[in-house]
């Protein structure tokens, strides 16, 4: 279905992709090291390591956050893994800063699940059911403002 034929409710109110430059560099270097070892006559199990490094590096190379009139979605590069939350379930959204050791990718933290590809800034979302999760972003203020506009609620 083309963008012109989409229903207005499906058009994004917000869409932003953050690249995980350091994440990409880390997996490129890891892949290059493994490839070098293979060329030098390394063990055949290193092929599995090379494939794993490429797959993980590709999957977690970017995070796209999309808000429509009904949902908030945070999806990694291939569209999966992803977090989808109905806007009607969002009770609170606030800008937060993660400690460095929370890391990148999908992490379980004391503040719920974190979806992150780079940096320390994030938006913490609390649902009406009491669950929390964080979405790492280099545009935390814009993300919170869009959630507020989309839900019709201002958060403290």
> Is the CA virtual torsion 103, 108, 114, 115 positive or negative?
positive
Both 7 and 82 in one domain: the answer is yes
Residue 122 belongs to domain spanning: 3-18+63-151
Both 13 and 51 in one domain: the answer is no
Position 1 scores a pLDDT of 43
CB distance 80 to 95 below 8 Å = no
Q: What's the pTM?
A: 0.86
Query: Of the ranges 33-42, 88-97, 114-123, 126-135, which one carries the lowest mean pLDDT score?
Result: 33-42
Q: pLDDT band for position 18 (50/70/90)?
A: very high
pLDDT at 32 over 60: yes
* Tokens, residue 108: 């379980």
Both 142 and 99 in one domain: the answer is yes
pLDDT at 68 over 50: yes
> Is residue 156 a part of any domain in this protein?
no
Position 2 scores a pLDDT of 42
Residues whose CB is less than 8 angstroms from the CB of residue 82 and which lie 6 or more positions away in sequence, other chains included: 73, 74, 75, 76
What is the tally of structural domains in the chain? 2
Both 11 and 88 in one domain: the answer is yes
Both 70 and 122 in one domain: the answer is yes
Question: Which is nearest to 80 in space by CA: 110, 48, 55, 53?
Answer: 55
CB distance 146 to 153 below 8 Å = no
Position 5 scores a pLDDT of 42
Question: Which is nearest to 104 in space by CA: 123, 117, 113, 122?
Answer: 117
Percent of the chain with pLDDT over 70: 94
Q: pLDDT band for position 27 (50/70/90)?
A: confident
pLDDT at 43 over 60: yes
């Amino acid at each position: 279905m083309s963008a012109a034929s989409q229903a207005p409710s499906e058009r994004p109110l917000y869409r932003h992709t953050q690249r995980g430059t350091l994440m990409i560099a880390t997996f490129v270097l890891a892949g290059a090291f493994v490839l070098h070892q293979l060329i030098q006559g390394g063990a055949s199990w290193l092929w599995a390591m090379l494939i794993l490094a490429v797959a993980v590096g590709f999957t977690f190379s970017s995070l796209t956050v999309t808000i429509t009139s009904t949902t908030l979605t945070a999806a990694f590069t291939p569209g999966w893994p992803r977090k989808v939350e109905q806007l009607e379930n969002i009770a609170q959204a606030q800008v937060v800063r993660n400690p460095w050791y929370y890391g990148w990718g999908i992490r379980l933290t004391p503040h719920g699940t974190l979806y992150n590809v780079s940096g320390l800034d994030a938006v913490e979302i609390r649902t009406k059911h009491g669950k929390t999760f964080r979405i790492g972003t280099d545009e935390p203020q814009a993300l919170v403002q869009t959630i507020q506009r989309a839900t019709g609620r201002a958060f403290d």
